[in-house]
Amino acid sequence: MTEAPEDAGYAKGRARRARIVRTAFEAFSAHGYRGASLVQIAADSGVSRAGLVHYFPTKESLLAAVLEERDRVDSEQFFAGVTAPVDGLDLLARFARLVEHNASNRGIVSLFAALSVEASDPSHPAHDYIATRYETLRRHLGAAIADLGARGLLRDDVEVEGLAAELIATVDGLQVQWLVAPESVDMAAQFRRRLAALVTVDLG
């Protein structure tokens, strides 16, 4: 057991931690994970290197906090008001909008793409985060597809087995080609075409 911190000090600590995460988010987005400098992040957050280490003992632990923050922002911006049971049509439309949003956020797309591969190594500190993220995405999209099927909104020839994983894969893969050559792929339009081919109604 640790002692309960005093309220004022605790609030100050939380604010400082949040500031570091925000700064790191920007640094990782601008320079990538490997390119970002902890020394610079500490300076830009107004803390010493020791202060940074107090909150985040490793660069990886700072990354994990950044990713959680990114998920929170995505959730607020794109998945606010999503209730169970999932409205499949609504969720696909939100997913398409998220891909559109990503097309103007190269840094964060690059960070996620690089990290997903890096963290596929089970010994990587962000492995569980990434594995859980994919599981959750597959589950949500799977529920959306099941909802569409139950409502008769899927085209007759759509094979639903593994479709959730495949749609996520499509987005991930399009992002890689877009990162390599932004002019070569319109990832948002391409993903919309893929979705449009699945359903009998307009996704909006």
Which residues make up the interface to its own copies (CB under 8 A)? 32, 110, 113-114, 116-121, 127, 130-131, 134-135, 138, 155, 157-159, 161-162, 165-166, 168-174, 176-177, 179-181, 184-186, 189-190, 193-194, 196-197
Closest CA to 28 of 17, 19, 18, 41: 41
- HSE-up (13 A, CA, CB side) for residue 134: 19
Cis (ω within 30 of 0) for the bond into 85? yes
| Nearer Cβ to its own copies (38/165) | 165
| Nearer Cβ to its own copies (150/197) | 197
| Nearer Cβ to its own copies (52/103) | 103
| Nearer Cβ to its own copies (61/170) | 170
CB of 171 to its own copies, least distance (A): 7
CB of 169 to its own copies, least distance (A): 3
CB of 203 to its own copies, least distance (A): 14
CB of 19 to its own copies, least distance (A): 28
Would you give the DSSP letter of residue 90? H
For residue 187, with 0-12 CB atoms within 10 Å meaning exposed, 13-18 middle and 19 or more buried, which class applies?
buried
For residue 100, with 0-12 CB atoms within 10 Å meaning exposed, 13-18 middle and 19 or more buried, which class applies?
middle
